[in-house]
Structures are given as structure tokens and as C-alpha cells.
Amino acid sequence: MEQSRKGWFGEFGGRFAPETLMGPLIELERAYDEAKVDSVFIQELQYLLKNFVGRETPLTFASRLTEHLGGARIYLKREDLTHTGAHKINNAVGQILLARRMKKKRIIAETGAGQHGVATATVAARFGLECVVYMGKVDMERQAPNVQRMKLLGAKVVAVESGTQTLKDAVSEAMRDWVTNVGNSYYLLGSALGPHPYPSMVRDFQKVIGEEARAQILLAEKRLPDELVACVGGGSNSIGLFHPFLSDFLVRMTGVEAGGRSSVPGEHAARFDGGSIGVLQGTQTYILQDASGQIQNTHSISAGLDYAAVGPEHAWLRDQKRAQYVNVRDPEALDAFHLLAKLEGIIPALESSHAIAYAVKRARDMTKDQILLVNLSGRGDKDLNTVLEADEGKKHG
Amino acid sequence: MAKFIPFLVVGDPDLDTSIKVVEILIEEGADMIELGVPFSDAMADGPVIQSASERAAQSITLENVFQFAETILKKHHGFPFVLFTYYNPIFKMGIEAFAKRAKKAGIDAVLVVDLPPEEAAMYSQAMKMNQVKTVFLVSPTTSKERLKIITQASTGFLYYVSRAGVTGVQSEVSKSLTREVAEVRALTSLPIAVGFGISNGEQARQVSGIADSVVVGSAFVKLISEFRTTQSLDSVRALAKEIRIATQSQ
């Protein structure tokens, strides 16, 4: 499964950027192409992943969940156990090394759930670089603990009040900042989306998830899993898990999007269900749009999945039928959140809870000798307020 | 003496007002007008145009903008309109359908802010087939290598972005602009329009000495947006006069 043209995955991807960013994107691509084959860069990245991020992360057999469901054996890849509590740090560490190599002094990032913002603020602090994080106002309210964490780490958090005040608008605002401060600033994009080289570069930095998981499951079970499951917002944790298994054709792959409240436009973020091909924020992919190409509003209980476009490589994997994409609604994700907490002693992020919710449904249809490997992309402490409020709402109903 | 190219977001605050604005701009001697196609996610624009665009995108489609141009062209036959748009509305309409529709509407040229020439092969071909000009942007971060690609893809004119940044007003014109535009001119015989951040007569005068055309966007969009409270377009006319005089003085 090869890329046809550089920066393209079949008919998806590309570099649809305003002219001012074209030069900087090409410069970034060159810097990354050099860095990724430079043994000094690779060694430093590996050192940080081990000693700062805390890799490798465990692959936990979810014995009580497995028993409860009575179907496939469920394993959890524990990205929630990384420093800062989500997979986002893998990419942040990689890109901060690149930013430093490119002698950039100021780091810009967007964030939805705040996990990428926290990861970026963390690595910026670690390397003594200035950090500005753009975050939708709605997201700042629902992920307040992460806003506090970013501030503690010395980052400036800018509330984005345009559009839907969520991730999409934070990306636009970060791009505006980058266009304006392109000389000294590095845009540390947090997901496998945006213009080339971001989708490939972010995937490369997240591939460690799948590489570890593949080795770990082979050690534990002496065979590959039957199916991989991961949630898909922009799609970085899922592509990180999937990519090292792409040539293992017997391993099924399922990406789980946010089904939100309903399938009505504006009430979900299921790009593969209600979307069509278009171009948004630098990349050609499936997006949620109306008949005249205006971007539609989205909704998800999880801020990290609440985005109108999906990473271009996922669009390609789906069209190639190499991966399938389903969606899970808010209440199912909430139930999965509680279930995992009670049965396994793990509080998952609401984003990851979508993957768990699908696994719960799916495992029952599988036999006891089959294996389901779920990426637990982040921890759920940041979501306690949202979950408690939703539970209250249900009670008073 | 330089050409004067004002910009408006079509449909902000509504289509009737946009028609009045275009009439005023033509009366005051605009040589071309840039019609901004509303888009929900105007990431290359600063707050003024971005919010106007977002407001108008609630109700105005690309097809509405074509109809708008057609209405005006019935009266002002052959007036050169430049469509200023993001790529997604074009992509959604279909590239060939778009090029045909632009031709039928009588659009002179199209500028797609997030479509660099590297991604524009099909678009450029369709536009060429339909004899609609393609304008591409050049910015202070454009390398000589890419400048060649851009000049080859451009028909009509080149649009030089006067500073690295989003659209919006700025306090003064960049000091390096003269040198930058001269560098571009050395590589192309196409006319050069300069825009992004030019908001008053004094700045327009400076740029007129350097460029073939002066684009004024956010300053007009800001005044037009005030129409909702003032119900007057006198300030739009006054700014158009000011810019017109400035561009003729050089």
C-alpha cells in the first residue's frame, strides 16, 4: 500500500495552503525528511520516549471486561499511562525536537480536548521554548482542568471565539498565527491532518503505538489480534496503532468516530457517515459539509473527536477497504466510560471511551479464542466534570 | 497611476446592500472589483473579513455570488469581476462545472486563496478551456523557484501579498515592499496587484508607486459591516474616493 504522490494517499491529502505557508511547509518537509534518517535525531527521540514519556506503555489484558462480555479476549494499549496521560505526547516530543533543530523559538499549537495542548506545553517547558495554544471557548469550558495544566506549564492559552468555538476554529486560528509569525514560529499540529507533511509526520511519530502493540501481543498470545479498535477524531492515535499492521491483511481495523446525539447534521462528527469529499484546512478528505461546500457544525460529548474533517490517510484506508469506520453515540461512550472504570479500574478519556463502546458491542459477536486490541488513547480525569454533568442530566432526565 | 481594486464579501450584511456597495465602487472609479465568496472557515483572513465571511456563509452560496455578478453585469456590461474564494466551494460544485459557470456569469478572473499552483493542475486546465483568468498569490515567503511556477500558472495578473500574515488593516506599508515587488517584476511581465493590509489613501499612494494595482479589502469590509447600525454607505463612498485619488496621484 504505497502513496501515489508525495503527500497524497490515493486521492486524499495534498497541500492546500495559503501562499505564505507554502514556503514554510516545504521547509518543514525538508527538515523532517533529513531528521528522520539522522541517527542523532532518532536516538534523542528514543531517549525522550523512554525517559520522559515513559515508553513503552503496557498492553493490559482486560480480564474482567472480557469475562463480563463473554466473547473475544480484550487487550488495552495503555497510552493513558504516558506522561501527560494521552498519546499526544509521542508526537509532541518528536516535533519539538524538529522545531529545535529548525531553530524556532516559539511554538504554536491548537487543541480540542486539551491533551495536545498539554503535551505541547509540556515539551515546550522541557526545552525552554515559548508556547501559545489556541483552544475553542466551548472546549475551554468543558476541559477546564487541561486549561489550568497548560497555564501551570507556562503556556499562553488563547480562547477562540469564532465559528463553533471548537477544534476546527482552533486550527484556523493557529494557522493565522503561523502565517503572521512564520519566521520565528513552529506550528506543532497535533493530529494526522492539515497540509503535507503533517499527516505523514504525525503518523510517523505515533507509529510507536502500533509497533509496540504488535510486539507485545505476539509475546502475550503468540499471534496477531483479530481486530484493532481506536477512536478517530483527526485520527492520530488510530493511524499510529493501525499503520504497523497494514500488511497484516488478516488483522481487521476499526476506527470509531463520534456519533454525537443523532445522525442529524450538526449533531455528530461522523465524517464517514454523513460527510463527503472536500478540502478543509489544507487537506483533501471526507468532511462534514452542506451542498454548497460550507462546513457544517459538529457535536460530540468528547472535545477531541468533535471535528469536521478526518485525517486523509484514514479516508484512503477506508476507500481501499483496508479499515472500516463506525460511529458511537454520546450515551454509549458514557456507558463504556463507567464500565471500564468499574470493571478494570481504569478511567478512560471520553475519546477513548468511544473505542471501548464499540469493543463492548463487537466482543460479544466474537468467539472466546479471538483477540480484540483496543487503543486506550488517554486517561479520563479531564472529563470528570462532563461525565458527572451528563449523569446528573440522565437522573433528572 | 495604478488601478484601484476594492474587495467586498458578497452578502454581508445582505445581497441588496452588496449591490449598492458595488454601484458606489463603480461610480467612484474602481477598475476591477474583488467579490469575496463567503466561506465558513476563512483561515487566511483576519478577524474583519473572517467574521463577515462567516456571517454571510449562513445564507449565501457560490451560486448566489454568480447570480449577483450576473445581475450587475446586465447593467455594467463587461465590468471585470475577480472572484476571491476558498477552494472547497469550488471543489463541491465540481471544478469543470465551476469554470463553466464562471464563464457564463461573465467573471473575468478567479483567485483561490488556499489553492497553490502545485495542486491546481485540473483547475487551471478547466479555467483555460473556459477562458477565465487564474490569479495566484505571491508572498514574502515565496521562493524564486516557486515564483516561476506561480507566474506560469497565472493569467491576468499576479497578486502580491504585502506582508506575511492574514488579511487586515496595518499601520504602515512594509519598507521592503519596493524591493520585493521589483524582484517579482524581474521574473514576469504580468501586471502586479498588491494587497493585504492597505487601508487608507496614504498607504494606497505608497503602493501605487510600486504596483500596477492596489487592492483594498478589510477597510471596506469593516465600513460595510457598520451599515447594519448606521444604515449609511457614505463612509464606503468616502474611502473609495480617497483611494481613487491616491492611486491616480502617482
Percentage of chain B exceeding pLDDT 70: 100
Over 90: is that where the pLDDT of A163 sits? no
Burial B109-131 (b: 16+ CB within 10 A, else e): bbbbbbbbbbbbeebbebbeebe
CB of B165 within 8 Å of any CB in chain A? yes
- Would you tell me the crossing angle of helices A330-344 and A350-364 to the nearest 10 degrees? 80
Q: What is the predicted pLDDT for the residue at A397?
A: 57
Nearest by Cα to A348 from A325, A376, A326, A328: A376
Mean pLDDT of B88-100: 98
CB of A182 within 8 Å of a chain B CB? The answer is yes
Judge whether B34 counts as a catalytic residue: yes
pLDDT band at residue A6 using 50, 70 and 90 as cut-offs = confident
Peptide bond before A197: cis, by omega within 30 degrees of 0?
yes
Q: How many domains does the structure of chain B reveal?
A: 1
Q: What is the pTM of this model?
A: 0.96
pLDDT of residue A1: 46
A294 closest CB neighbour out of B57, B116, B141: B57
**Continuous segment of H or E residues that includes residue A74:** strand A73-78
The model's confidence at residue B212, banded by pLDDT at 50, 70 and 90, is: very high
Gap between the Cα atoms of A121 and A138, Å rounded: 20
Average pLDDT over every residue of A80-107 = 98
Mean pLDDT across A112-117:
94
Q: What is the mean pLDDT of residues B118-128?
A: 97
The whole-number average pLDDT for the span A331-355 is: 98
Q: Is there a contact between A19 and B138 if contact means CB atoms under 8 Å apart?
A: yes
What value does the mean pLDDT take over residues A238-245? 98
Q: Which of residues 23-82 of A touch B (CB under 8 A)?
A: 23-24, 26
Touching check for A136 and chain B: CB below 8 Å? no
Is the predicted pLDDT of residue A2 greater than 60, yes or no? no
DSSP assigned state of A289: B
Confidence band for A3, pLDDT divided at 50, 70 and 90: low
Q: Which contiguous run of DSSP H or E holds residue A186?
A: strand A185-187
For the record, the C-alpha cell of A128 comes out as 525552554
CB A72 within 8 A of CB A371: yes
* Cα–Cα dist A78/A293, whole Å: 39
What is the arithmetic mean of pLDDT over A92-108?
Answer: 98
Rounded to an integer, the average pLDDT of B238-245 is 97
pLDDT at residue A252 greater than cutoff 80: yes
Q: CA-to-CA distance for B55 and B40, rounded, in angstroms?
A: 8
Expressed as residue numbers, the domain containing B138 is: 3-248
Q: What is the CATH number of the domain that holds B212?
A: 3.20.20.70
The residues of A annotated as belonging to the active site are 88, 110, 377
Average pLDDT value over all residues in chain A: 96
User: Are A22 and B146 inside 8 Å of each other by CB?
Assistant: yes
Q: How far apart are CA B40 and CA B43, in angstroms?
A: 9
Residue A388 reports pLDDT greater than 50: yes
Please tell me which residue of chain A has the smallest CA distance to B92. A293
Sign of CA dihedral A57, A77, A321, B91: negative
DSSP string, chain B: --EEEEEEETTSS-HHHHHHHHHHHHHTT-S-EEEEPP-TT-TTS-HHHHHHHHHHHTT--HHHHHHHHHHHHHHSTT--EEEEE-HHHHHHH-HHHHHHHHHHHT--EEEETT--GGG-HHHHHHHHHTT-EEE-EE-TT--HHHHHHHHHH--S-EEEESSSS-SS--SS--TTHHHHHHHHHTT--S-EEEESS--SHHHHHHHHTT-SEEEE-HHHHHHHHTHHHH---HHHHHHHHHHHHHHHH-
Q: What is the pLDDT of residue A4?
A: 60
